[in-house]
């Protein structure tokens, strides 16, 4: 396992508690079946949506993503007003808590997401992901870093909205990791603005809920059941002002500015997240030991739900553009994507 993959200290035992109402067994089972069916439908319909105009794709993707979240039992609350697509590339950056982050961002700012390169080799689903405009990441090849940053820059230059999770792994939401800077270099190279968005999951009383957190050695089935069994969950996304291109000329300064915009100041926990033996998490791979922020997929068996989210395919660059990656040192036990 690469020593350059970020880690987080969060675990399901410490971070995934939910204090509030719960759904009965029939309701939870119904949510699980409905949500899974909608994700599968989104994956299968992606090839039909891809040729449509950007405005139509965005509208369909937003409706699909909101419907998925509601099917899983979550209300959606949007704070701030996202601007319509401007015709120029924008890098959307968000803190990372759960596989639910993917449809949540898509419900407001549909765009091309980053996925681990292994997904491209999956039968059927890999082809659908590529056709939907997914950018692929070679997580453990540091030599690929310059080329993959150029790839992301090309996507932004071509006018795509690209969504990334710069923490490089999921955190529980009570604390956060640092934003690693390589993806911000792509924004600088492309002259693209950065749109920070903050993700929070709340219980019925408005307090933080850990039920959606997908961290540590959690499994996908356990995470799914915890979400559908929780009552009164709200997925909140706060759309923050653009950081215009040219505001910062250094990728580290731009990364710090984006993180600060989310109200996530550096903390001792975030700075010491690279701890020996810490487990890690992907946005969704279906594996308990390999969880990467840049997977761009929604969950096991429905891995290309994100491809319906990656609705920017009409503006995507040439077919050689498949991935983006960045890197920071981390625990040798980490299974995280280079960021």
Backbone angles phi, psi at 117, to 5 degrees: -65, -25
Please tell me whether residue 266 adopts helix, strand or coil conformation: coil
Using 50, 70 and 90 to split pLDDT, how confident is the model at 256? very high
**Average pLDDT, stretch 250-267?**
84
CA distance 187 to 243: 11
Q: What DSSP line would sit under 124-163, residue for residue?
A: THHHHHHHTT-EEE-TT-GGGHHHHHHHHHHHHHTT-EEE
| Under 8 Å between Cβ of 96 and 293 | yes
Query: How distant is the alpha carbon of residue 169 from its chain centre?
Result: 9
- Distances from the Cα of 149 to the Cαs of 144, 167, 183, in angstroms? 9, 16, 7
Does residue 265 carry a pLDDT above 60? no
**Average pLDDT, stretch 156-166?**
91
Does residue 13 carry a pLDDT above 50? yes
CA distance 238 to 110: 15
Using 50, 70 and 90 to split pLDDT, how confident is the model at 225? very high
pLDDT at 6: 65
Q: What DSSP line would sit under 177-225, residue for residue?
A: PPPPSHHHHHHHHHT-EEEEEEEEEE-TTSSB--TT---TT--HHHHHH
Task: Report the run of H or E that residue 271 belongs to, with start and end.
Answer: helix 268-271
Using 50, 70 and 90 to split pLDDT, how confident is the model at 198? very high
Does residue 234 carry a pLDDT above 70? yes
Does residue 303 carry a pLDDT above 60? no
Does residue 188 carry a pLDDT above 90? yes
Which tens digit of pLDDT belongs to each residue from 78-135? 999 877 777 789 999 999 999 899 899 999 999 888 766 766 776 555 666 676 677 7
Does residue 321 carry a pLDDT above 90? no
Most confident region among 259-263, 293-297, 315-319 by mean pLDDT: 259-263
pLDDT at 168: 77
CA distance 109 to 92: 8
The 8-class DSSP code of residue 243 comes to B
The 8-class DSSP code of residue 238 comes to E
Mean pLDDT of the chain: 75
Residues of the chain with pLDDT > 70: what percent? 70
pLDDT at 37: 92
Distance between first and last Cα of the chain: 15
Does residue 252 carry a pLDDT above 90? yes
Q: Which residue has the higher pLDDT, 330 or 81?
A: 81
pLDDT at 112: 87
Q: Give the pairing type, strands 233-239 and 193-202.
A: antiparallel
pLDDT at 100: 94
pLDDT at 148: 78
Does residue 273 carry a pLDDT above 80? no
pLDDT at 244: 94
Q: Which long-range contacts (CB under 8 A, 24 or more apart) does 19-25 make?
A: 19/203, 19/207, 19/209, 20/203, 20/204, 20/205, 20/207, 20/209, 20/230, 20/231, 20/232, 21/204, 21/230, 21/231, 21/232, 22/229, 22/230, 22/231, 23/73, 23/228, 23/229, 23/230, 23/231
């Amino acid at each position: 396992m690469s020593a350059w993959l970020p880690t987080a200290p969060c675990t399901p035992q410490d971070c995934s508690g939910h204090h509030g109402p719960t759904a009965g067994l029939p309701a939870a089972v119904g949510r699980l079946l409905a949500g899974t069916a909608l994700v599968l439908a989104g994956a299968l319909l992606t090839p039909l949506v891809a040729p449509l105009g950007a405005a139509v794709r965005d509208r369909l993707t937003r409706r699909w993503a909101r419907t998925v979240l509601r099917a899983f039992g979550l209300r959606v609350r949007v704070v701030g007003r996202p601007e319509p697509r401007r015709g120029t590339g924008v890098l959307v950056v968000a803190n990372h808590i759960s596989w639910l982050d993917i449809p949540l961002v898509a419900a407001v700012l549909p765009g091309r997401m980053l996925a681990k390169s292994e997904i491209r080799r999956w039968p059927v689903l890999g082809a659908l992901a590529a056709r939907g405009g997914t950018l692929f990441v070679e997580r453990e090849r540091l030599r690929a870093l310059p080329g993959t940053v150029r790839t992301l820059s090309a996507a932004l230059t071509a006018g795509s909205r690209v969504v990334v999770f710069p923490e490089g792994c999921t955190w529980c939401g009570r604390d956060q990791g640092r934003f690693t800077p390589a993806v911000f270099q792509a924004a600088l190279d492309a002259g693209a603005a950065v749109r920070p968005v903050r993700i929070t999951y709340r219980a019925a009383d408005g307090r933080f809920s850990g039920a959606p957190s997908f961290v540590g050695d959690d499994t996908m089935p356990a995470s799914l059941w915890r979400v559908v069994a929780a009552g009164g969950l709200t997925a909140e996304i706060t759309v923050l002002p653009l950081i215009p291109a040219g505001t910062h000329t250094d990728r580290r300064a731009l990364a710090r500015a984006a993180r600060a915009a989310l109200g996530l100041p550096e903390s001792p926990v975030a700075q010491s997240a690279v701890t020996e033996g810490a487990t890690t998490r992907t946005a969704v791979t279906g594996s308990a030991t390999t969880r990467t922020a840049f997977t761009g997929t929604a969950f096991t068996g429905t891995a290309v739900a994100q491809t319906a989210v990656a609705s920017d395919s009409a503006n995507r660059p040439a077919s050689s553009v498949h991935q983006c990656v960045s890197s920071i040192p981390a625990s040798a036990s980490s299974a995280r994507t280079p960021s």
